[in-house]
Amino acid sequence: MLGKKPLISENCQLNNVELGQYTQVGIYNVLENVKLNDFSYTGRFCTLQNADVGKFSNIADMVRVGPVFHPLERPSLHHFTYRRMKYGFAESDDESFFQWRGEQRVTVGHDTWIGHGAVIMPNVHIGNGAVIGSGAVVTKDVDPYSIVVGVPAKPIKKRFEEDTVRKLEEIKWWDWPHEIIKERLNDFYLPINEFTEKYYKAGV
């Protein structure tokens, strides 16, 4: 059973990572400069870099979030130009490049689902409730509660009507405390309109 202490599976590499309560990191994950908020999890063989992941995010196996850039404007793409010490070319690395690369952050909203093998490119914002299809390559922002698929990923539909989306964004059930969600668990099986009718402007 998951709890307030994060569950980190075997053979993971974590560097500068903040994990919320009830989170789980799958086997053979690499996470660097990542915040994984409450109740979110990653599947097997995922790599996340420079990313802020919201609550209740469902990240399937082999997902790649925030693949880092090489310097396109330089004469060479190779990392000898910024990992200089590794090749004995200099006594320091190009820290300004690493700082710039770390600033190209991905934001993944609450209650999102990122399908198997999807790739989310740097500087992309995934809205709350969005679904990313398996194998998609996401190069642009994704609207809340949209479903996107393909290479490059394109929207195919909205999960709900705009009015329902607006109400869900205002309800913000993902911010409810654990005990409130437990108390209201049966309401998550209601038709969506009944759920929003019950909790829209009702407060916690």
Q: What does the pLDDT look like over 28-84, one tens digit per residue?
A: 999 999 999 999 999 999 999 999 999 999 999 999 999 999 999 999 999 999 999
Q: Range(s) for CATH 2.160.10.10 in the chain?
A: 7-68+104-158
pLDDT digits (tens, 9 = 90+) for 147-164: 999 999 999 999 999 999
Q: What's this model's pTM, rounded to 2 decimal places?
A: 0.93
Look up residue 10 and give its DSSP letter: S
pLDDT at 203 over 70: no
DSSP 203: -
Residue by residue, DSSP assigns 119-172 as EE-TT-EEPTT-EE-TT-EE-S-B-TTEEEETTTTEEEEESS-HHHHHHHHHH-
Which amino acids are annotated catalytic? 70
Architecture (CATH level 2) of domain 7-68+104-158: 3 Solenoid (2.160)
Extract the tokens encoding 164.
Answer: 């329902």
DSSP 73-127: TSS--SGGGTSGGGGTS-SS--HHHHHHHHTS-EEE-TT-EE-TT-EE-TT-EEP
Task: Give the bridge partners for 126, in sequence order.
Answer: 108, 142
At 49, is the secondary structure helix, strand, or coil?
Answer: strand
Whether pLDDT at 204 is above 70? no
